[in-house]
Every structure is written in structure tokens, then in C-alpha cells.
Amino acid sequence: MTAPMQSTLFNGLIGADLLQQSAKTLFQQLVSYLQPSELHTIERTLTYGAQAHDGQMRQSGEPYFTHPIAVCLVLAEQRFDLPVLQAALLHDVLEDTSVEYAQMVAEFGEEVTRLVDGVSKLDRLKHQAPQEVEADSFKKMFVAMTDDPRVIIIKLADRLHNMQTLGSLRPDKRVRKAKETLEVYASIAGRLGLFYFRLQLEDLAFSHLYPWRYRVLQKHYKLRFEQNDVIAKVRKELAPLLQALGIKASINKRQRHLWGLYQRMKRKSSFNDAVRTIPLRIVAEKEDDCYRILGKVHSLYRPIVGKFEDFIAAPKSNGYRSIHTSVLMPSHEVLNIQIRTRDMHTLAESGIISVWHQHLKQKHLRHERHSIQTHQSMRDWLSRLRDVQSITHNPLEFYEAVKKELTQGDIHVYTPKGKVIDLPLGATPIDFAYAVDHGLGNHCVAAKVNGHEFPLFKALEPAQTVEIITDKNASPHSNWLELVVTAKAKAGIRHYLHNLAEQQAQAIGAKYLDMALQRLGQVGLEQLDLALLSDYLRKHKIDKPTLFRKLSQGELQPSLVASALLGQQLQTTEHAQTLIIHSALDTAIQLAQCCHPLPYEKIVGELMPAVGVRIHRYQCPYIAQANQLDWIRVQWADKTQGVFAAAIELDVRERRRILAIITAIIADEEANINDFSVKTHLAYQDLRTLLFVLTVKNRAHLARIIRRLRTFNEVVDIRRI
């Protein structure tokens, strides 16, 4: 029999009785699964933490250490192991007391101390604003989380108890904490499949952000849920069919959590519409039974087209597996049904918590294959987010980038091999490529969606199969940063642009400098006196590889460097080399948005800091206004790769289906529409001006489209803009 908890743990401490009562509740949970020696370790940790926090009080007036005990209880209910429980009890010691890291290591070891340090906030510096400290602490926790996911589990338990006791804070602080919980911590829990935490955090945040709406919705939904008797009818009709097949399964009502119901109401516009479908869950013993049950459900009730998803065959990236289907009963009720096994249900409810226990406690057992995949998916996701740190060294920017990544709604798309990739709404094939692999993103040149060509920067839709076409010679372009939406893609693009391969950077920079030298002095880099170059490098405290890299990335102007090397004022010359443009995706090449140059048109290049060379059409009005010293000769290669943007404006007479006819012509010519707008003609009220931004192969391709559009009688005028 396990020895009872000592009654003298908190003798002499402020609020000892209340601490003893909280610890007793904790022990009632712990004795069900911890060994006696582990319970003694917990007692020692309780005493240490309580003494460290002695005299500190919560806003509610309770001894502060009741909070770490409550956090530990949350984790004990999920049956976490000893180091996690100890870290929960000590999670504020390094942050809020005089105990130092080395002291805690000496007392409890490196593992526990590292977990505590990962959850702890940074010391507030006098020159830092509170928002900066919060962002810096979040980044610190995030880095620790990628090394050991238990850090975020402790943090979520900490946030859960804080949300449960948020009522003692000022109203403005409650709202700020609730909003942060909803946007960041509940989202992280959802991404990791920690639905035990996610659902509670969302509902608690809802109750503080919109207290009146929460109470009203809670009252109405509870009444609706209790009065619904459809479940008895479904059991009566479906159970005999399953018994005849020898299938054992439970059929139960599924209760929606209130925040999810509130979001559903906003989409559906009313409470009745939001609860019109009746959620049920059928839990079977074996995976094969799930599909047999699905067959019987569809034979009994009419399936609703477009309302079926098989997450057993294609699990979500957080490991979630289940069959979803919606059916219409003869009595006109709509059933929203989930069908899964008990293992799938455990994983869906607890996420990586259940997987964590398998890996720590049952390594000698054969793991369920998808549980291991879920654990790996969790690690992959954390690893991908760690890459986001390369976006910026500014903690506030980092925090906002991760928050944006977390709060955007998800869509699920597939690789050609059927792997599920989760992306935020608005994500493009470029985002998809970087989500799969950095190398895929860095060298992508085109995409196919469901087997058809698809623009690289068009938003993907749910359930599409995406294939990325690569070219080893292609590389990211600075323009991409304006067009991708995921932090992972932005990080990958910035990383590539800021860390170009040294050989490539030197080659490009040397080429730019060579051209600039020839424009000024008719002497190339190879003929330049080495003493002049050495003097320049010494004077500017820079080496040759760095000089060429800065030139390639636009940090230095080739014309200014060439002028300094030759010791003369800038001047023009007709003896300049020509830069050949092979693709819109060439490194350090940008196509100007003001004139949308196309292959086979006469073009000119503008040297741009942090970009490289921006390409304009020769007729671009901008050229006359710019500094002519920053221009270089460029021309298209005989063969170009990729697609290019072109903008055209049409003046058309109003008639039915005019837009459908025009877009059909564009589609017939195998061009994509990237953007579209319409406005009333400035001079004639019966005309409309349509603006299309298209992706085309070259000037000839665009000319063919324009010729076809001109044959349409309602088109009064067409012009490139």
C-alpha cells in the first residue's frame, strides 16, 4: 500500500493549510500510477518549490505555489512522467525567485532544469518594453520546444490553469490574455493534436472575450443537446445491421465545443443553421470495420455529395485519423458522422500525449504504425517552424510571423504520393514546395495541380494534389517574398537570397563589375590592374569574395565600385557587354511591375540595391525619369523558361456573359488570369473597362490572345498597360 503524503510538507510557510489541501488533491491523482520512490521525489519537489515561492501571492489572494500545484495536477490527469511533473511544480522558480540555474541542476538534475528553463520567461531588462520581453520569452520557449516538446505541454498546462483563474485580473488584462491564448497557444495545441488543451483553451478564451455571448450560447446549446433524441433512432436502425455483420461499435452523440459552434454560427448566420446537423461518433474495434460501417450508414441513409473525407487513408499532418460523412435521414435530419477505431479516438482526443506515453512507457511493445507517424509529424512540424527563426532577429517580428502562421485557417492538400500537407488559407504552390522541402522550394519553376498546369502564386484549394516541377538552375527571387504567405516559405527564400552559394555569388558579382568597368573604361575585370583592386579592398576593409557577393545581392552598386577602381567620374560608353536574361526566375533578376516586360521585347536593365537588376521594357515611361548611370544593357536569351506577367486593359460594351466569353478565350489560349478588376469607362457610361493580369509564355503568346479578343465585336479597344 502506498504511504500517504506527509502532513508537514509546508510547515512554517504562509498559507500552509491551503497548500497542503492542494497537494493532497494532487497526490490522490498521482498514487494511481507513480511508484513510491517517485512519490517521495514529488514531496521533495513540493517542499522546495513552496519554500522558494514563500510569501508570494496570486491576484486572488492565494499562496502563489497553489498555481504550480494546479499545473502539475493538469499533467497528472494525463499521466505524465516524473520529470514533467517536477518541472511543472518548479516552472516559475527560475523566473520569479532567487534560485539560479546551477542550483536547480544540483538539486534536481539537468533534464528537469532544462524543462523549467524552457518554460521560464526572460528577465525583464530596463530598456525593453513589456511587449518585447513577451516576444523574446516566446522565442526562447519556442526554441526549447523544438528541442523537447514537453516544454510546450507544460506551458499549455500553465496557460490552462491561468485561464481557469483569469477572473481575478483587470478586465483589460483578461482580454489581452484571452486573445493571446486563442491566437497562439490554442493554435499550437491544435497543430500538435493536443485537443485536450486546445478545446478547453478556446472555450475559456471565448468566455472572457465575449462573456454574454458565451453564456447565451452555452444555455441554448445545452438545452438543444439534451432534447435531441435522434441518437436513439439511429441506434435502433443501425445497431441491428452492425450486429448482423459481427461488428462491435458504440454510437454516441458528439458534443460541439462552444468556440467552434460560435465560429460555425458566424459562417451560417444563425444558431439554428449552426446546429442543424446532428454530430454523431461511431467507434469500432478494427480499421476494416470502419469501412464496413460506412457502407451500412450509406445504405441506410442518403449520403450528401461533397461531404465525405477519408482521413484514415490520408491522415492529417497532426496524425488525426477518422472517416467523416454527412447523410440525410428520411425524416430530413442531417447527420454529421465520424467513424473511427478506439486507437484513433484516443489519438484524436489526446494527440501526441498518448503517443508520448507509448514512446516513454511502452518501448518494448509494438507501436501502432500511425502513432509513430504522428510522433514524427509532430517533430517535423516543430523542425519546420524552427526554420522560421531565420526570418528575423527581431523577437517582435518573429512572434508576429509565428502568430500569423498559426492563426490562418488550414487547408489540406496532397503530394503526388498521397502525403497530406497542411497549409494556411491563401497558400500557393511555392508555399507547398517549401513546406515539403527547402530544396524543392529553392528550385521550383512550375506547378501542376490535379494534373494540369497551375500558376506558382495562385492560391491552392482544399484536397488538391500538387506536383512541383524543378530546375536545378532555378533559384528564389526577391519578388517571391511578396507573394508567399507561410513563414516557412519566407524564411526559406530569405535564407537563400542572403546565403547564395559563394561560387554563384562571386560569379554574378564579378560579371556585374566587369560590365561596369567596360562601360567606364573599356577594360574588363581580367585586364584591371590588380594593385587598383587590392587598394580598394584594403581601403574599404573587405575581401574579394565579400565584394562580389555584395555586388551580386545589390548591396553595392557596380557602377560606383567601377568608378572608384578607375579613379574617374562615371561616364557612358557604347562598348558595354550585354547581360543575357534566360528566365524570370534568374538569380538577382526582377521583372518590373510598371511595364511587365516579355521575352522577345526590347528591354533595358536597372541596377537596384538588394535586388540586382530590374528589367524594364524599352518603352517604359519610368526610364526617362531614372538615373541613367544605373542602367545596363540586357537582352532575352534565344530560349526563355517559365511564364511571365502581362497586363492588358479592354474597353467593352455591356452584354450578358461578356466576362465568361472573354475568360474562355484566354483559357483556350492556355494563359492564366492572375488578377482581374472592372470599372465604368471614364467617358462612356455604356462601356466597361476590364483589367486582366495574365501569365503568358512570351510576347508572341500575348499577341495571339489580343488578336483573338479583337475579333469579338463587343471589344472596342485593347491596350497593354
Q: Residue 228 contacts by C-beta under 8 Å, 6 or more apart in sequence?
A: 253, 278
Cell 485536450 found at: 196
Question: Is beta strand 323-328 parallel, antiparallel or unpaired with respect to 249-253?
Answer: unpaired
SS (H, E, C) 229-270: CHHHHHHHHHHHHHHHCCCCEEEEECCCCHHHHHHHHHHHCC
Query: What is the distance in angstroms between the CA of the first residue and the CA of the last residue of the chain?
Result: 85
CA distance 316 to 309: 11
H-helix or E-strand containing 520? helix 502-521
Whats the size of the chain, residue-wise?
721
H-helix or E-strand containing 410? strand 410-414
Cell 513540493 found at: 46
Distances (CA, A) of 285 to 146, 341, 462, 674, 716: 35, 5, 30, 49, 68
**C-beta atoms surrounding 131 within 10 Å:** 11
CA distance 329 to 157: 41
Compute, in degrees rounded to 10, the torsion defined by CA atoms 82, 85, 89, 92: 110
Contact 69, 23 (CB under 8 A): yes
Question: Is beta strand 249-253 parallel, antiparallel or unpaired with respect to 277-284?
Answer: antiparallel
Clarify whether 96 is annotated catalytic: yes
Q: Which residues pair with 605 in a beta bridge?
A: 615, 632
* Phi, psi dihedral angles at 647 (to 5 degrees): -110, 130
CB-count exposure of residue 697 (10 Å: 0-12, 13-18, 19+): middle
CA distance 468 to 440: 8
Contact 185, 194 (CB under 8 A): no
Per DSSP, the three-state class of 687 is strand
Question: Is beta strand 644-653 parallel, antiparallel or unpaired with respect to 603-608?
Answer: unpaired
CA distance 195 to 215: 22
Within 13 Å, how many C-alpha atoms sit on residue 165's CB side? 16
What's the grid cell of residue 75? 499533467
Nearest to 641 by CA among 577, 681, 702, 585: 585
Amino acid letter, 358: Q
What's the grid cell of residue 624? 526617362
Options 38, 43, 96, 410, the catalytic residue:
96
Options 95, 111, 333, 343, the catalytic residue:
95
Clarify whether 471 is annotated catalytic: no
Own/partner long-range contacts of 681-684 (Cβ < 8 Å, ≥24 apart): 681/651
Distances (CA, A) of 317 to 15, 197, 421: 46, 18, 6
CA distance 25 to 42: 13
H-helix or E-strand containing 688? strand 687-696
Cell 482581374 found at: 676
State the alpha helices, DSSP H only, in 387-460: 395-407, 429-436, 438-442
Per DSSP, the three-state class of 326 is strand
Nearest to 497 by CA among 382, 645, 390, 581: 390
Distances (CA, A) of 436 to 143, 145, 440, 607: 21, 21, 7, 34
What's the grid cell of residue 91? 516552472
Q: Which residues pair with 279 in a beta bridge?
A: 336
Per DSSP, the three-state class of 444 is strand
Q: Which residues are the active-site residues?
A: 95-96
